[in-house]
Structure 1
Amino acid sequence: MTNDGLSAGAAARRLGVAVTTLRTWHQRYGLGPSRHEPGHHRRYTLEDMVRLQVMQRLTAQGVSPAEAAAWARRAPASSTAPTLPGSPADPGSPADPDFSVDPGSCDSASHDDSAPHAEPAPSTEPVFSTEPAFPTGPAGGGQSIALGVRADPAARGLARAAMRLDGPAMRHILDSAVAGRGVIAAWDHVMMPVLIGIGERYEATARFIEVEHLLSRSVTEALIAVPRPAPEITPRALLAAAEEEQHILPLEALAAALAEAGVPSRLLGARMPSRALVDAVDRTGPVVVVLWSQLPSSGDVTQLDRILAIPHPPLVVAAAGPGWPSPLPPTVTTFRDLTEALRVVSAACR
């Protein structure tokens, strides 16, 4: 930054926000440019930029804009934002153990009026269960994602960032959650509530699929970034989506949780043809096969029967997701949640 300071446009580009967002922060919260020369527009100084960075970081963590602005106005000439009690960056303060979502008493993640109007999209990604992980209900109005009064602060921050289509902020929140809490806790308490909220918003409005796409991509990137076991360790778990099943975020979460536990896996991805899956099982000889179906249209039990009919079938053949019918063959394993999936797959592979 030069001694002359930054224009509003340059400051917005530096922060990765819209100029209208800076204007809102100036008009509503007094976080405007302080350098002024007669006959010229005001310009943002280094101290102004530090305050704006604090504002940006705290709102991304779920702090209300008014409270974040109060912190920012007190910020010294340092780019370090204060740490919130209970946040992943504060190891001395445990997070709230109760993360249940109560759609009957929802609050909406607040949304800056200057941010792009966005809405959730279809295909939420529930945990490994034959029932929805959270009860569903009508989504609230407005440009926001309803999470519930007990929603984790990081989930609220992720919801706000998603509605702004703020990819860098989403990655920061997701990476911090995974690093500070582990894959399963980050999935259960940060990622999944927002994915479900976006799905409910789409069901109510049929708008803003771009929000779900960018959030899903950010979640995938955060999960892929989890370090994998050494390449010389042969994967003994095979993960795949059923035929015509396109939703694989839960499988990516399981692969990341297994990697975090030191267990490698092969993730074949979405829409795996049954014949190709059987060929893969024949070639690699896994001890565990997890087949994910989210929608009833993809939960064809014959896909499981073909794996079970292999001369030397895997030790565990698991049907994961809410798309499978009930009852399933007694030799097929089902998972209640991601924690159980991790436990069963890890035990079989060791």
Structure 2
Amino acid sequence: MTLMNAHPAASNGAGQPEHDDPELGTTVPEIGWPVGVVSERLGIAAPTLRSWDRRHGVGPSLRTSGNHRRYTELDMRRVELMSRLTAQGVPAQSAADSVLAMDARSIADRLTVNSATGADDELLPGSGRQDPEAIDVDAADLVESIVAAARALDPRTLSLLYRQVLRRRDVGRAWIEVFAPALRRVGDLWREGRLGVSAEHLTSELLQSELRAVVRANRLRIAGRPVVLAGADDEQHHLPLLALEAELARNGVASLFLGPRVPSEALVSALRESRPRAVFLWASLARPAVEPLWRDLGAVDWDLEVVIGGPGWAEGITVPDGPVVLTRVEDFGSAVRALTSSPGGLTR
């Protein structure tokens, strides 16, 4: 049967499209497969394949001389990866956007990773898997799906993806493996002019809502003296603080969230009124080593651990002699450990 590619392709002179075979070092005819063969080979129902083709553009790219469409090997790999992503809970349109944006090498690599981790069939309906910690959806796929949903300004898909991640990972893993990389990617695209500011705002606002939902869901478990969470006085980024609040709530630790841009005098006043056992301060923008906050901590007359995180803090910070202890943390996990094992607090 003579095949014709839907897009221009090299020909062997017999009307049959060709492609290079890197292993043989030769040019060989392209082979195409009908939907029934693909359905049987991949275990995907033919109506599903036709729906993905019609609705999402993931389908056959070859045509016969009789205008019948056929799947190439690359087409089948795309379909296979889309099947794995949707089985893992990624919405179909986001899965399609991801696989269509990948080249052949990326698709092959992703299929290899998913096969090695066994993260596909375990997530099929009726599989009987009940332990969400035993399910490990590939983080890179989720990041790409979040970026695709942001690009499409699709709030429903973004919310579903965020909830899926938070169901299957604790907040710390979700932040480190998925949320922070996705936010960086969206921010990079915005700075490059490839994504509108509306997409960046939508991505952040919906994530904020989902993280606060974690706090609400754990409210009855929260007890003890609170820790204070605040940003430096010119710090605008507060999603890391929200992620930390959610993870503390999941651990049953009470917190007082003051948010970003807290002036030093207001922070010290809040500390004196609430008398927390610990305070976490976040700074992504560069801070001076000497600033009024460190001097004003001299007013503290109870045991207080000051935990600082983020790349903005300078080296050589000192606090007044007394009951204040300063701790610098380098990552999310270290911050959680510091705040759940502070003097007078919980030890987990």
TM-score w.r.t. length of structure 1: 0.59
In terms of fraction of residues, the more strand-rich structure is: 2
Alignment match, 2:339: 345
- Determine the C-alpha separation between the residues in 1 that align with 2:243 and 2:334: 13
Matched with 2:170 is 182
Question: Are 1:267 and 2:301 matched, yes or no?
Answer: no
Q: Does the Cα contact within 8 Å between 2:277 and 2:305 map onto a contact in 1?
A: yes
C-alpha spacing 1:338/1:317, structure 2 compared with 1 (3 Å): same
Aligned residues: 240
For residue 321 of structure 1, the aligned residue among 307, 310, 324 is: 310
**Which range moves more in the overlay, 282-291 or 326-335?**
326-335
**Residue 3 of structure 1 aligns with which residue?**
none
Deviations 1:148-193 (A, max 9, x none): xx85222221111111111111111111111111111111111111
1:238 paired to 2:228: yes
SS of residue in 2 equivalent to 1:317: strand
Which digits, 9 at most, give the CA deviation of each residue in 1:208-263, with x for residues without a partner? 11111111111101100102333883442001111121111000010000001111
Structure 1 residues 56 and 310, CA gap change in structure 2 (3 angstroms)? closer
- Name the structure 1 match of 2:283: 293
Q: Could you tell me which residue of structure 2 aligns to residue 209 of structure 1?
A: 197
Report the structure number with the largest CA radius of gyration: 2
Structure 2 counterpart of 1:58: 92
Q: Which runs of 5+ in 2 are unaligned?
A: 1-50, 61-85, 103-118, 320-324
Greater helix content: 2
Identity fraction in percent: 28
User: 187, 191, 200: which one pairs with 2:179?
Assistant: 191
Mapping of residues 132-151 of structure 1, within 5 Å:
none
Contact 2:268–2:297 (Cα < 8 Å) also in 1? no
Q: Look up the match of 1:95.
A: 136
Structure-2 separation of matches of 1:301 and 1:25: 62
Question: Retained in 2: the 8 A contact 1:243–1:273?
Answer: yes
SS in 2 for 1:237: strand
Mean CA deviation greater in 331-340 or 261-270: 331-340
AA aligned opposite 2:181: P
Distance 1:87 1:302, change over 3 A: farther
Partners of 2:157 and 2:276 lie apart in 1 by: 38
| 1:327 Cα deviation after fit | 2.6
Distance 1:291 1:87, change over 3 A: farther
Post-superposition shift, 1:204? 2.8
| Distance in structure 2 (CA, Å) of the matches to 1:151 and 1:180 | 11
Inter-partner Cα distance in structure 1 for 2:256 and 2:167: 23
Residue 328 to residue 25, structure 1, CA distance change in 2 (3 Å): farther
Q: Residues 267 and 24 (structure 1 numbering): CA distance in 2 closer, same or farther, change over 3 Å?
A: same
Which residue does the alignment assign to 2:267?
A: 277
TM-score (norm 2): 0.60
Deviation per CA, 1:87-134, whole angstroms, max 9, x where unpaired? 7996596537xxxxxxxxxxxxxxxxxxxxxxxxxxxxxxxxxxxxxx
> Contact conserved, 2:90 with 2:142, CA < 8 A, in 1?
no
Matched AA of 1:316: E
Matched residue, 2:327: 333
Structure 2 contact 133–168 (Cα < 8 Å) conserved: no
Q: Is the CA contact 2:52–2:59 (under 8 Å) kept in the aligned structure 1?
A: no
CA distance in 1, matches of 2:141, 2:55: 25
Counterpart amino acid of 1:270?
A: P
Instruction: Work out which of the residue numbers 214, 220, 234 in structure 1 matches 2:208.
Output: 220
**Residue 3 of structure 2 corresponds to which residue in structure 1?**
none
Judge conservation of contact 1:162–1:211 (CA < 8 Å) in 2: yes
Distance apart, 1:304 and its partner CA: 3.9
Q: Which runs of 5+ in 1 are unaligned?
A: 1-21, 32-52, 68-82, 97-149
Q: Is 1:289–1:316's contact at 8 Å kept on the other side of the alignment?
A: yes
1:59/1:316 CA distance change after superposition, 3 Å: same
Does the residue aligned with 2:327 lie in a helix, a strand or coil?
strand
When residues 87 and 223 of structure 1 are mapped into structure 2, their CA distance, relative to the original with a 3 A threshold, is farther
Contact 1:87 1:154 in 2 (8 A): no
1:302 Cα offset (Å): 2.1
